[in-house]
Each structure stands twice: as structure tokens, then as C-alpha cells.
């Protein structure tokens, strides 16, 4: 078994991260899951949350994702995210504005589908605000 696996984080129209990692923790819909080299095959939907990339048994890089899908093999983990943000580059003011706009949208939502969309947006905006520098 190798000591690393290939990890790729992809957002629409942009490759966010690509490289060999010791471990990655991914926010699955059913809960966070860690991926190590030799992991069993897995496909999972993602919820808004934080992806942690480990080096020397400690989190090295962290990204907030808005949801998406993950595919895991023994050698690779690929995350296709709806949105991804490097935690070291999140702006607190922008995150707070995004949260306020989502809360207004939820208040004025016309139907259940729109309400669910704004609830997911609020969850992501709260994550961004909580992790802003």
C-alpha cells in the first residue's frame, strides 16, 4: 500500500487542488469520512462543509465546499464541488453579505423548492462567515 493517494478538488470551470495527500476528510451527506490510501470504492453526495487535506498527520489545507459529489478508489479521491473556497482567502465582509442576502431570499421564497435552495445557501454562507479571516 502506498503512503499517499491522488486528491483532486474541482469546482465549476476550475481545478482548485490536485496533488498527492496522506489523507483527506470529506463532508459527505451522511457525515464526514476520511480517505486514506487503499480506501474501498465509494461514491457519495456532499453537503456544505469543510474538506481537510492532511500532511504529517495534521490538517495542511482546508476548503469550504457548497456540496457536490465525491468518487473514491484505493488510489484516488476526486471531489466535484458546486463551489469551493480556500479557507485562508475567505473575506468576512463578503461572507456576511452573502448570508444576509440568503436570509432575505428565504424570507421571500415563493415555494418549497426555492426555500430549500435558500436554506442550503444559508448553511454555506454561515460556514464561510464562521471560517473567514
Which of 121, 39, 117 is CA-nearest to residue 78?
39
Question: Looking at the structure, do residues 77 and 95 belong to the same domain, yes or no?
Answer: no
Rounded Cα gap, residues 60 and 17, in angstroms: 12
Model confidence at 1, pLDDT cuts 50, 70, 90, reads very low
- Read off the pTM: 0.86
Count of domains forming the chain: 2
User: ∠ at Cα 128 (15, 57), nearest 5°?
Assistant: 65
Question: Looking at the structure, do residues 70 and 123 belong to the same domain, yes or no?
Answer: no
Which of 65, 66, 6, 13 is CA-nearest to residue 35?
6
Question: Looking at the structure, do residues 15 and 49 belong to the same domain, yes or no?
Answer: yes
**Hunting for cell 485562508 — which residue is that?**
88
Question: Looking at the structure, do residues 81 and 113 belong to the same domain, yes or no?
Answer: no
Per-residue pLDDT tens digits for 66-125 = 999 999 999 999 999 999 999 888 888 999 999 999 999 999 888 999 999 899 899 999
Provide the domain limits for residue 99: 91-130
Amino acid at each position: 500500500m502506498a503512503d499517499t493517494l491522488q486528491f483532486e478538488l474541482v469546482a465549476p470551470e476550475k481545478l482548485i487542488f490536485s496533488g498527492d495527500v496522506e489523507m483527506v476528510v470529506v463532508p459527505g451527506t451522511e457525515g464526514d469520512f476520511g480517505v486514506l490510501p487503499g480506501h474501498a470504492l465509494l461514491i457519495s453526495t456532499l453537503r456544505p462543509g469543510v474538506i481537510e487535506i492532511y500532511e504529517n498527520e495534521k490538517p495542511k489545507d482546508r476548503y469550504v465546499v457548497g456540496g457536490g459529489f465525491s468518487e473514491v478508489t484505493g488510489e484516488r479521491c476526486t471531489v466535484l464541488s458546486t463551489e469551493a473556497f480556500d479557507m485562508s482567502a475567505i473575506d468576512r465582509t463578503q461572507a456576511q453579505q452573502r448570508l444576509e442576502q440568503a436570509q432575505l431570499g428565504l424570507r421571500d421564497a415563493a415555494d418549497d423548492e426555492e426555500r430549500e435552495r435558500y436554506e442550503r445557501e444559508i448553511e454555506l454562507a454561515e460556514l464561510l462567515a464562521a471560517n473567514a479571516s
